Protein backbone atom coordinates (compact mmCIF):
# COMPACT_ATOMS: atom_id res chain seq x y z
CA UNK A 1 0.00 0.00 0.00
CA UNK A 2 1.22 3.50 -0.80
CA UNK A 3 1.19 6.41 1.65
CA UNK A 4 0.38 9.96 0.54
CA UNK A 5 3.34 12.28 1.15
CA UNK A 6 4.14 15.93 0.60
CA UNK A 7 7.30 17.84 -0.06
CA UNK A 8 7.88 19.41 3.35
CA UNK A 9 11.17 21.18 2.73
CA UNK A 10 14.07 21.63 0.40
CA UNK A 11 17.60 22.44 1.55
CA UNK A 12 19.87 23.96 -1.07
CA UNK A 13 23.57 24.42 -0.38
CA UNK A 14 25.03 25.72 -3.61
CA UNK A 15 28.62 24.92 -2.62
CA UNK A 16 27.98 21.17 -2.70
CA UNK A 17 26.39 18.71 -5.12
CA UNK A 18 24.29 17.13 -2.37
CA UNK A 19 20.97 18.88 -1.81
CA UNK A 20 18.16 17.49 0.34
CA UNK A 21 14.42 17.31 -0.03
CA UNK A 22 12.23 15.96 2.74
CA UNK A 23 8.97 14.10 2.27
CA UNK A 24 6.42 14.02 5.08
CA UNK A 25 3.32 11.90 5.55
CA UNK A 26 0.14 13.85 4.76
CA UNK A 27 -2.37 11.94 6.90
CA UNK A 28 -0.72 9.90 9.67
CA UNK A 29 -2.85 7.48 11.68
CA UNK A 30 -4.84 9.13 14.49
CA UNK A 31 -2.51 10.27 17.28
CA UNK A 32 0.66 9.41 15.35
CA UNK A 33 3.42 11.83 14.43
CA UNK A 34 3.77 12.24 10.65
CA UNK A 35 6.66 10.16 9.35
CA UNK A 36 9.26 11.92 7.21
CA UNK A 37 12.56 11.19 5.55
CA UNK A 38 15.18 12.97 3.43
CA UNK A 39 16.27 12.23 -0.12
CA UNK A 40 19.62 13.51 -1.36
CA UNK A 41 19.36 15.07 -4.83
CA UNK A 42 21.54 17.08 -7.20
CA UNK A 43 21.71 20.85 -7.43
CA UNK A 44 19.97 21.19 -10.84
CA UNK A 45 16.99 19.15 -9.64
CA UNK A 46 16.84 21.08 -6.36
CA UNK A 47 16.88 24.38 -8.24
CA UNK A 48 14.15 23.14 -10.61
CA UNK A 49 11.95 22.14 -7.66
CA UNK A 50 12.60 25.42 -5.88
CA UNK A 51 11.72 27.44 -9.03
CA UNK A 52 8.45 25.57 -9.35
CA UNK A 53 7.57 26.06 -5.67
CA UNK A 54 8.24 29.78 -5.95
CA UNK A 55 6.41 30.11 -9.28
CA UNK A 56 9.51 31.40 -11.06
CA UNK A 57 9.32 31.00 -14.82
CA UNK A 58 12.30 30.93 -17.11
CA UNK A 59 12.51 31.88 -20.79
CA UNK A 60 13.25 28.43 -22.21
CA UNK A 61 11.90 25.06 -21.09
CA UNK A 62 14.18 22.92 -18.97
CA UNK A 63 14.30 19.12 -19.22
CA UNK A 64 11.48 18.66 -16.67
CA UNK A 65 9.31 21.12 -18.58
CA UNK A 66 10.08 19.30 -21.82
CA UNK A 67 9.02 15.94 -20.42
CA UNK A 68 5.79 17.38 -19.00
CA UNK A 69 5.06 18.91 -22.41
CA UNK A 70 5.74 15.63 -24.22
CA UNK A 71 3.37 13.76 -21.88
CA UNK A 72 0.66 16.34 -22.51
CA UNK A 73 1.15 16.49 -26.28
CA UNK A 74 0.91 12.71 -26.50
CA UNK A 75 -2.47 12.88 -24.77
CA UNK A 76 -1.27 11.62 -21.42
CA UNK A 77 -1.90 12.97 -17.95
CA UNK A 78 0.53 12.76 -15.08
CA UNK A 79 -1.59 11.38 -12.23
CA UNK A 80 0.94 10.88 -9.45
CA UNK A 81 4.52 10.22 -8.43
CA UNK A 82 5.36 7.03 -6.58
CA UNK A 83 8.57 6.26 -4.70
CA UNK A 84 8.23 2.52 -4.82
CA UNK A 85 11.61 1.07 -4.00
CA UNK A 86 14.66 1.62 -1.82
CA UNK A 87 17.68 -0.44 -2.79
CA UNK A 88 21.22 0.00 -1.45
CA UNK A 89 20.40 3.49 -0.09
CA UNK A 90 18.98 4.59 -3.46
CA UNK A 91 15.33 5.51 -3.97
CA UNK A 92 13.50 4.56 -7.16
CA UNK A 93 10.37 6.31 -8.37
CA UNK A 94 7.86 6.25 -11.18
CA UNK A 95 5.87 8.82 -13.06
CA UNK A 96 2.33 7.42 -13.03
CA UNK A 97 0.87 8.51 -16.35
CA UNK A 98 -2.64 7.91 -17.67
CA UNK A 99 -2.34 7.38 -21.44
CA UNK A 100 -4.77 8.79 -23.98
CA UNK A 101 -6.26 5.29 -24.16
CA UNK A 102 -6.85 5.14 -20.41
CA UNK A 103 -3.98 2.80 -19.49
CA UNK A 104 -1.96 3.64 -16.38
CA UNK A 105 1.73 3.57 -17.29
CA UNK A 106 4.55 3.62 -14.72
CA UNK A 107 7.69 5.25 -16.12
CA UNK A 108 10.98 4.79 -14.23
CA UNK A 109 12.36 8.01 -12.79
CA UNK A 110 14.72 9.34 -10.19
CA UNK A 111 12.65 10.73 -7.32
CA UNK A 112 14.16 14.19 -7.80
CA UNK A 113 13.10 14.36 -11.46
CA UNK A 114 9.67 12.92 -10.68
CA UNK A 115 9.10 15.45 -7.91
CA UNK A 116 10.32 18.34 -10.08
CA UNK A 117 7.72 17.41 -12.70
CA UNK A 118 5.07 16.57 -10.12
CA UNK A 119 5.40 19.88 -8.26
CA UNK A 120 4.80 21.77 -11.51
CA UNK A 121 1.75 19.60 -12.28
CA UNK A 122 0.50 19.65 -8.66
CA UNK A 123 0.09 15.87 -8.51
CA UNK A 124 0.17 13.71 -5.39
CA UNK A 125 3.33 11.99 -4.19
CA UNK A 126 3.07 8.46 -2.83
CA UNK A 127 5.64 6.27 -1.09
CA UNK A 128 5.29 2.51 -0.73
CA UNK A 129 4.73 1.57 2.92
CA UNK A 130 7.80 -0.70 3.04
CA UNK A 131 9.97 2.05 1.54
CA UNK A 132 8.65 4.57 4.07
CA UNK A 133 9.32 2.19 6.96
CA UNK A 134 12.87 1.48 5.74
CA UNK A 135 13.62 5.18 5.09
CA UNK A 136 12.33 6.25 8.51
CA UNK A 137 14.28 3.43 10.23
CA UNK A 138 17.44 4.45 8.36
CA UNK A 139 16.91 8.12 9.27
CA UNK A 140 16.52 7.24 12.95
CA UNK A 141 19.73 5.15 12.89
CA UNK A 142 21.70 8.18 11.67
CA UNK A 143 20.26 10.76 14.05
CA UNK A 144 22.32 11.66 17.10
CA distances, 85 to each of 27, 102, 127, 131 (Å)? 21, 25, 8, 6
> Is 142 a residue whose pLDDT tops 70?
no
Nearest 5°: the CA angle 95, 13, 36 is 50
> Secondary structure of the chain: what % helix, strand, coil (to 5)?
35, 35, 30
Instruction: Find all residues with CB under 8 Å of 75, minimum gap 6, and list them.
Output: 99, 100
2-142 maps to which CATH number?
3.10.690.10
The domain spans of the chain are 2-142
pLDDT in tens, 26-63: 999 888 899 999 999 988 889 889 988 888 888 888 88
Amino acid sequence: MAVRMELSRILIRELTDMQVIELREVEPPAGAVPRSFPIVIGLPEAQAIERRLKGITIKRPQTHDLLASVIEHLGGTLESITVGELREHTFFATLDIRSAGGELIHVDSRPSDAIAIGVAQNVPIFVAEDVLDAAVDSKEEHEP
